[in-house]
Amino acid sequence: MKCPRCKNEVLKKARIHDLEVDYCSKCHGIWLDKDELDQICGNTNED
C-alpha cells in the first residue's frame, strides 16, 4: 500500500494499541482501515 498523500511513498507497518496500522515515514501520516479506527475509538468504552 502506498501513501495517498505522498503518492509514491510506500507505507510501513506500525503497531498502535495492539493494532497494525500503515505508517508513512515521509509525511508521518497514519492510515487506518475503518475497522481499525472503530476498534481504537471503541476501546475506551470497554471495561
Query: How far apart are alpha carbons 26 and 36 in whole angstroms?
Result: 22
- For Zn ion, the closer of residues 5 and 12 by Cβ is 5
As measured in angstroms, the least distance from the Cβ of 15 to Zn ion is: 18
12-to-3, 8, 17, 43, 47 alpha-carbon distances in Å: 10, 13, 16, 24, 31
- For Zn ion, the closer of residues 3 and 21 by Cβ is 3
Place of cell 505522498: 6
For Zn ion, the binding residues (CB under 5 A) are: 3, 5-6, 9, 24, 26-27, 29
- For Zn ion, the closer of residues 29 and 40 by Cβ is 29
